[in-house]
Structure formats: structure tokens, C-alpha cells
Structure 1
């Protein structure tokens, strides 16, 4: 039924400011911007080993309206060093949502609230690395 992560959507009142913040965090520019001219209503990055889509949508288009509190699902992105990723996020202006916690051998999680009110989770997950290690290599 569920075949894989396609797009994670975050919301922001100021998509341009969110683009700048995430460009600084990720070290890449979004590959897709809508509209092309004028302030963007939607931007999208491709991230990580599987090039998952990470979109930022103008909050006007949020399906459930605006909330003044961060909430909802926490989506965790695998990182090799949770402490370092957590500290970098804080240094860029995110605030603590959940400090780094070892959830069991091989599993450490943390989360922050980005400057736009979205929860961003980071996780060291040994299962992710096991699955990633079983990917077939591409022929050149």
C-alpha cells in the first residue's frame, strides 16, 4: 500500500524567507519554484540518498488553516550525527522541540521547530543504514 515517501510539505507565511533558511541549512538551491516570477507560493528541494521531495508551501494554501503552535506528524530525516545536526539547526535559528534522546541501541532522535513553525526531526537510524546498504549499485 505505502510504497515510499514522495513529498514532505512544510508551510510558511514567507516562502522566500523559508527558501533562504533551508538553502542555508541544506547547502543547495530548490530545483523547483512556482511561480517563476514574483514571490514564490511553492518551492521544492530534492534531498538525501533517495532524492525525496521537500516542499515549502505558502501557508495560505494549508488544508487546515493556520495554527499558532507547531504540531502534527514529526518526519525524521536520517543524519549521521544527531547532536551535530541538532546544534546546527539551533545555530540557524530553529528552537528546541525535543532534545536528542537515545530511543534504543542504534536509534537517536531530536526535533526542532523551524523559524516558520514546522517541526523538523532528525534521527540516526541503523535500519535506514541497513536498507541503504542493500541497494544495488548502478553500472557505469
Structure 2
């Protein structure tokens, strides 16, 4: 069911600047940028783990908060329900992060926000 860590998400005031700094420190060859509604999302791949930089949001994911670790899963809805049944609570999502990719966040019984990341709807 759980397949390993896929994504570590960092919440930053300037996601592009943060991604460029980490790319330099980690000697990553490429960063990826996406702009949606004036908000920049940036990420780089480090040894099979996506290091993502998301705009900070005081209501949902404040700057300087803990990174959200995303577990790769086969079925977001099934794993989400399993975690809810085990005592987690809803935090955000599920959303289609991109065509064919669905993510969501839950809060475990101890206050840690975790993410799950798996296949979504296939593009038409």
C-alpha cells in the first residue's frame, strides 16, 4: 500500500528563490516552475524524491512550518479512508495536482500533517 516517500513539500514566501537555493546546495541540475493564478510552484528531483516549494499560506500551511512528507500510494481514496478510519483527520484535498496525479493531506492523531500522492484521473 505505502511505497516510500515521493515528495517533501516546503512552504515558503518565495518558492522559486527557495527552490533555486536548494538546487544549488544539492547540486540539482534542473528546477521546475509552474505559475498558477500568479502563484509560483517550484520543485526539483533529488534521487527519486521530489522536493517541492509551495507558496506559504498562514491559514493552511504557514511559512517555516514543518515540511509535509507525501507517501506514494496506489489509490489515494482508499488510503485516505484507511487513515481517517485509523484516527487521522482531514486537512486538505484531495485535489488533482496535475492530470493523472491526485494528492491530499491529513493530520495524524499527534498533529503531524502528512500527504498521500497517487494516480488521479487520466487526461482526456
TM-score by length of 2: 0.43
Find the structure with the greater CA-based Rg: 1
More strand by share: 2
More helix by share: 1
